[in-house]
Amino acid sequence: MNWRIIYFSERVRSDVLALPPGIRADYLRLSELMEEHGADLRMPHSKAMGSGLFELRPKGPEGIGRVFYCT
């Protein structure tokens, strides 16, 4: 089963894609994994926040980004 990522709005999508280059590259890698295998990523890539809300934690030379998502 393939998953599809849908952004809440175009502004959210553009903000996520405006992450620093290294963090954005890891975000794109993690989002491809999510589309292929589902949203069940685990630490250190993703953390459950509760009630269906998760935190994606892409890393790069610039540090760690935070992108929240729900299923």
> How many structural domains comprise the chain?
1
In a domain, 36, yes or no: yes
Residue 30, both tokens: 């993690």
Residue 27 within a domain: yes
On whether residue 31 sits in a domain, the answer given is yes
Closest CA relative to residue 26, chosen from 69, 66, 60:
60
Q: Is residue 3, in this structure, part of any structural domain at all?
A: no
Query: CA-CA distance, 46 to 40, in Å (whole number)?
Result: 8
pTM of the model: 0.88
Does residue 1 register a pLDDT over 70?
Answer: no
Q: Whole domain around residue 42: which residue ranges?
A: 10-70
> Domain for residue 4, yes or no?
no
**Which tokens is 14 given?**
């553009």
Please report, rounded to a whole number, the percentage of residues in the chain having pLDDT higher than 90. Answer: 76
> Does residue 44 lie within any of the structural domains?
yes
* More confident: 57 or 37: 57
Could you tell me the pLDDT band of residue 2, with boundaries at 50, 70 and 90? Answer: confident
